[in-house]
Copies of this chain bind each other. A is one copy, B any other.
Amino acid sequence: MPLSLKDRLDASAAAAEARLDAALAGAALPGERVRPERLMAAMRHGALGGGKRLRPFLVMESAALFGIPADGAVTVAAAVECIHCYSLVHDDLPAMDNDDLRRGRPTVHRAYDEATAILAGDGLLTLAFDLLAGDDAHPDPVVRVALVRALARAAGIGGMVGGQMLDLAAEGRFSGGAALALDAPAIRDLQAMKTGALLALSAEAGALLGRAGAAERAALQAYGRALGAAFQIADDILDVEGTAEEVGKKVGKDAAAGKATLVSLLGLDAARALLDGLVAEATTALGPFGARGAILAEAARFVAARRS
């Protein structure tokens, strides 16, 4: 009997957590002089003990489509989660979104200090590539180097870093303070970069691990892109409708910042319709995998319906 979505989410979360825990152990590696205690504690605060671990789930479930067992995907899952966690640590900084609360706990710069948070983020970003380069990521260096390239692109200028930059610009941070009046395509570009790129990479990573053909790789990318867009709209809806207690971070931030989202632009009903359309797009993209794609399809529905 196949496990439920919740069981699988829990299993991949636990596996990724254990891999991150091992990577962030306090003892110096061979060749290292010291692992500074405060840095390790801050990195662990930023990376362990919370979060849905959606990206590790996507890596591990997409890899499973190609027969890759959990052990064979968990290091890549942990690497992708390192990137996600570093981005949260840096985005929460006072100079960025200035958040005090994350996953119901103090953000890293509140629990430690700004300098430590900057370095913890830098350390997690660097660790992601360290993890991908090791032979436990995949036995074939060709696959490992493809993962490095794909992750760097998803995380960099044309992906997450660029998306956060567009997001700050949209708030009017570099143009006198008034939020920019972005239209829907501009918002979708921004969100595809800020959130979508890493989610799409997570699904694509399974195809890379499984040495999938071009069609299957493209199918998983399309799934991941649609899921990423759905994720962001669900997030924007939660920012309007959720409570801080449910969501585990401050809500109402977009409205407070006068920031255009697809929800503020189209209204809640149209945003929900768009969300439904994206879920359909995600599940359709899984067509080539037949019944084996069921758990990823269920994940897309879960992402759209989540309350936290």
B35 touches A157 (CB 8 A): yes
Tell which of A34, A90, A113 has the most Cβ of chain B within 10 Å.
Answer: A34
A33 touches B129 (CB 8 A): no
Tell which of A95, A146, A157 has the most Cβ of chain B within 10 Å.
Answer: A157
Shortest A12–chain B CB gap in Å is: 24
B126 touches A189 (CB 8 A): no
Shortest A125–chain B CB gap in Å is: 6
Interfacial residues of chain A within 168-213, with CB under 8 A of chain B in the complex: 168-169, 173-174, 189, 192-193
Binding site for B on A (CB under 8 A): 28-29, 31-36, 38-40, 43, 86, 90, 93, 95-96, 113-116, 118-119, 121-123, 125-127, 129-130, 132-134, 141-142, 144-146, 148-149, 151-153, 155-159, 161-162, 164-166, 168-169, 173-174, 189, 192-193
Shortest A208–chain B CB gap in Å is: 12
Residues of B within 8 A of A116 (CB): 165, 168, 174
Residues of B within 8 A of A146 (CB): 133
Q: How many copies does the complex hold?
A: 2
B161 touches A122 (CB 8 A): yes
Smallest Cβ-Cβ distance to A138: which chain B residue: B145
Contact pick for A193, options B33, B90, B165, CB 8 Å: B33
Residues of B within 8 A of A113 (CB): 95, 173-174
Residues of B within 8 A of A130 (CB): 148-149, 152-153, 156
The answer to whether A115 and B173 touch (CB under 8 A), given A122-B90, A141-B141, is yes
**Cα(A290)–Cα(B125), bound, Å:** 40
**Cα(A86)–Cα(B121), bound, Å:** 13
A118 touches B95 (CB 8 A): yes
Shortest A182–chain B CB gap in Å is: 12
**Cα(A132)–Cα(B159), bound, Å:** 18
B141 touches A118 (CB 8 A): no
Smallest Cβ-Cβ distance to A153: which chain B residue: B130
The answer to whether A95 and B123 touch (CB under 8 A), given A29-B158, A174-B38, is no
A145 touches B174 (CB 8 A): no
Q: List 17 A-B contacts (CB under 8 A).
A: A33-B192, A34-B166, A38-B174, A95-B115, A95-B118, A96-B115, A96-B118, A115-B168, A116-B165, A119-B161, A122-B122, A125-B125, A125-B126, A127-B152, A129-B148, A141-B142, A141-B145
Residues of B within 8 A of A165 (CB): 36, 38-39, 116, 119
